[in-house]
Structure 1
């Protein structure tokens, strides 16, 4: 049977969960994963950057 509720939470997010990844600078990509910087701030990153090194995450700046 089909799954009617798959991805429904994305439609309630601003821009449907899409934006620019602060680590790899890819545009129009889903930002669904949270990474913590060393100073305690949180960043939303893409699927490819969830496993990025902590140095790359610390060097990233939040994209507005």
Structure 2
């Protein structure tokens, strides 16, 4: 028998849980694994980055913040 309920929870998530991983920059990949940064905030990452060290998560978030700030300056 087929398992009709498998993966059903991500049907209600925007883009079916897919996006760009903030750590490895992989596109159109499932972001289903919450990771907690050193400051206590949580971000969603891909399966490969779910075992990444916390320092790598902090670097990725800092890079995202600097990119968004530079876009604000350019606008």
TM-score norm. by structure 2 comes to 0.78
Displacement of 1:24: 0.5
Q: Structure 1: which 5+ runs fail to align?
A: none
Q: CA RMSD in A?
A: 1.5
Displacement of 1:10: 1.2
Partner of 1:26: 26
TM-score norm. by structure 1 comes to 0.90
Quick one: distance in 2 between partners of 1:42 and 1:59?
14
The size of the alignment, in residue pairs, is 63
- Show the 5 A alignment for 1:50-61: 50-61=50-61
- Please identify runs of 4+ aligned residues in structure 1 that moved more than 6 A: none
